[in-house]
Structure 1
Amino acid sequence: MKSNRVLRTPGGLSLRLDVRAVTVVVLLLLAAFAASVVLIGTGDFPIPAGDVVKTLFGNGDAGQEFIVNELRLPRVLVGLLVGASLGLGGALFQAVTRNPLGSPDVLGLGQGATAGALVMIVLFSGSAAQVTLGALVGGLVTGLAIYLLAWKQGVHGYRLVLVGIGVSAIVTAVNGYLLTVSDIVDATRALVWMTGSLNGRDWDQVWPLLAVCAVLVPLVLVNARGLRMMEMGDDVSNALGVRVERVRALLMVAAVLLTATATAAAGPVGFVALTAPQLARRLTRSPGPNLLASLCMGAALLVTADWASQRAFGADQLPVGVVTGVLGGVYLLWLLVTERRAGRI
């Protein structure tokens, strides 16, 4: 069976359809939906999956309507949107840098967002909204600094990764300093935020995330063809009519916004941006950035990790960032060993 099929439209256009990639995307969407239904039904008041689905479609009783729609659905939607944003942002960074380690976790964007949040917590004792705004600004400023420092007649992938690692080290030191000068209450609050968690998330976090994704996801997908051509090299891409630096800058801005917004909503949830694109590529076995598959993989990964943490330790005992950090760390070690054996690092 061929994995690629060519669809011809009445107007004479030919579209290549990767059947395996489409199948993987559909299966990941179903997995994300199934994990979301199970997660909504998990808690101190368990609800069967069938009743969760009925309640989501408006056929539940009053008690189930309140528990599902007001208490648990916002948390799950934040998890899906954060996972999707991190998965897509990670795929963009890895495609632009042409490096499997070129993710927000390695480049320091999470640390930059953490610095912005710590400034609001430690120096200003800010509210939850102010901490969220601080994290968003911190991530954007860090992303801009990395891009400008890596610029030299264009942005080379490995130079971007090296600059990102250096900036990450500096910002990590700043974060450590902010924690040492804070009082015990602010330090405890900061450490909880730095772990990455979906606890207590409500509709106030859902709407900004949904708005950002509604704008940026179509923008990124429209430019996917140019990004794929850029994998052949800047010279070839320019010859094919791709405005390389414009597309690269646009997609970098989109990746930074997606990552910073996700971090602002849920804290620095580690390694989803690193692992989701790699797992998506291995499932689709397709060259290119696999943007849509990475988005779906990120969403499925995060809600599944949140469900696992709740099943093992209870709803408020283990933040999801701990689970993704452990799994992502194991995956990173495996990836490093694999890349070294292949002679690429």
Structure 2
Amino acid sequence: MLLALTDKRTGLANGFLLLALVAASLSSMSLGTISVAPLDVLGSLLGKADPMTDFVVKELRGSRILAGLLSGAALAVAGCLMQTLARNRLATPGIIGIDNAATAFAVASVVGIGLSLAPSAMALAGAAAATSLAFGLAGANGTRGYRFIVAGIGIGAIAGAATQVMLSRVAIDAANAAYPWTVGSLNARSGHSVVILSIGLVLAAILLAIINRGLNTLQFSDAVAIALGTRLRAIRILGLGLSVLLTGLAVSVCGPVGLVALLAPELARTLCRPGKVPLLASGLAGATFMVLADLLGRTLFSPLEIPVGIITAIVGSPYLLWILLKPSNRSLT
């Protein structure tokens, strides 16, 4: 009976988060400098609206909502994975420098420094380089313990400084083109990068479904997990690789949007059944956070737009301080 109740709780949590995501998306399509009635939004989605409404709902707002939804889900799942592997609530891609490194490589591509690869490929390369370097500096601890986090913070600081140096040494037009990658923005995102991110999310979902049981055993000691049949090394390498993949692809779409990877998994763990890694709930929560943050950025001081990365930083920073000042003993999984 207890198992049934706890499984029902997870299902209800996922259902609630899905409804919240739908409501946030419909609100974002409806609200803005040009308001569109909710019924007209639904009509546009069903192909029964006038051309102007279709343009506002689908072209202007729908594309950025899709980009926000996918990138928010990717960042949140990457954060949940990283926290699970490190067994530390602070071990998220943004805090350990993966976001900044991916951004630095993407900016290098935009401003024409180094290899002239697509921003998505460069962002992936930056994320992988930062993770490998942090992993190497952590030594025998791997992703475990604070040494990994401290190494990542240092790498992120260096990558952030490199980004600023690059922007200061190029023409103003090139710097303006790269600027959205430095603050996190969903404005005029590349459709090509969004397609690549969606493919990456589907691939990650398939692989995570395969290793889900192994991830759940990481809440126990290594000896217990091995006794339960978990191939720890394979699970950790694959989990870390998926976290890097999702982070790099998300940054190539929206830039370094901070703290989504921290807030979404925390909310998911609060709502879902204890003892499990809430990957689906984290993805839904991250997508909802991103869409709501973008909505606030567009409407709060309209027609002036605030980048989504600034909104998430303002909202998430007090919670990060709360974690640092009042650590919780609750299990991550």
- SS of the residue 2:26 aligns to: helix
The alignment's TM-score, normalised by the length of structure 2, stands at: 0.90
Evaluate the alpha carbon distance shift between residue 131 and residue 153 of structure 1 in structure 2; reply closer, same or farther with a 3 A threshold.
closer
Amino acid in the other structure paired with 1:326: I
Evaluate the alpha carbon distance shift between residue 311 and residue 3 of structure 1 in structure 2; reply closer, same or farther with a 3 A threshold.
farther
Distance of 1:5 and 1:79 partners within structure 2: 34
- SS of the residue 1:105 aligns to: coil
- SS of the residue 1:5 aligns to: helix
Evaluate the alpha carbon distance shift between residue 262 and residue 316 of structure 1 in structure 2; reply closer, same or farther with a 3 A threshold.
farther
Amino acid in the other structure paired with 1:172: G
Confirm whether residue 45 of structure 1 aligns to residue 45 of structure 2.
Answer: no
Confirm whether residue 248 of structure 1 aligns to residue 236 of structure 2.
Answer: yes
Partner in structure 2 of residue 13 of structure 1: none
Distance of 1:180 and 1:238 partners within structure 2: 51
How many residues align? The count is 331
Partner in structure 2 of residue 167 of structure 1: 155
Distance of 2:126 and 2:213 partners within structure 1: 30
Amino acid in the other structure paired with 1:259: T
Partner in structure 1 of residue 25 of structure 2: 36
Partner in structure 2 of residue 298 of structure 1: 286
Partner in structure 2 of residue 5 of structure 1: 4
Evaluate the alpha carbon distance shift between residue 250 and residue 38 of structure 1 in structure 2; reply closer, same or farther with a 3 A threshold.
same
Distance of 1:233 and 1:98 partners within structure 2: 11
Q: Which runs of 5+ in 1 are unaligned?
A: 7-16
Confirm whether residue 226 of structure 1 aligns to residue 214 of structure 2.
Answer: yes
Shift of residue 343, structure 1, vs aligned partner: 12
Across the aligned residues of Structure 1 and Structure 2, the Cα RMSD in angstroms comes to 2.5
Shift of residue 316, structure 1, vs aligned partner: 5.6
Contact 2:268–2:278 (Cα < 8 Å) also in 1: yes
Evaluate the alpha carbon distance shift between residue 264 and residue 140 of structure 1 in structure 2; reply closer, same or farther with a 3 A threshold.
same
Amino acid in the other structure paired with 1:4: L
Evaluate the alpha carbon distance shift between residue 292 and residue 101 of structure 1 in structure 2; reply closer, same or farther with a 3 A threshold.
same
Percent of pairs with identical residues: 36
Residues 184-263 of structure 1 mapped to structure 2, 5 A cutoff:
184-201=172-189, 203-263=191-251
Residue 277 (structure 1) aligned to one of 253, 256, 265: 265
Contact 1:196–1:269 (Cα < 8 Å) also in 2: yes
Distance of 2:200 and 2:2 partners within structure 1: 33
Residue 71 (structure 1) aligned to one of 60, 66, 85: 60
Distance of 1:190 and 1:70 partners within structure 2: 23
Partner in structure 2 of residue 286 of structure 1: 274
Q: Which moved more, 1:141-150 or 1:321-330?
A: 141-150
Q: Which runs of 5+ in 2 are unaligned?
A: none
Confirm whether residue 119 of structure 1 aligns to residue 130 of structure 2.
Answer: no
Shift of residue 285, structure 1, vs aligned partner: 5.6
Distance of 2:135 and 2:306 partners within structure 1: 35
The alignment's TM-score, normalised by the length of structure 1, stands at: 0.88
Q: Which moved more, 1:250-259 or 1:147-156?
A: 147-156
Q: Which whole-Å deviations, capped at 9, do the CAs of 1:13-54 have from their partners, x for residues lacking one?
A: xxxx62112111111111111110111122333211122122
Distance of 1:141 and 1:343 partners within structure 2: 32
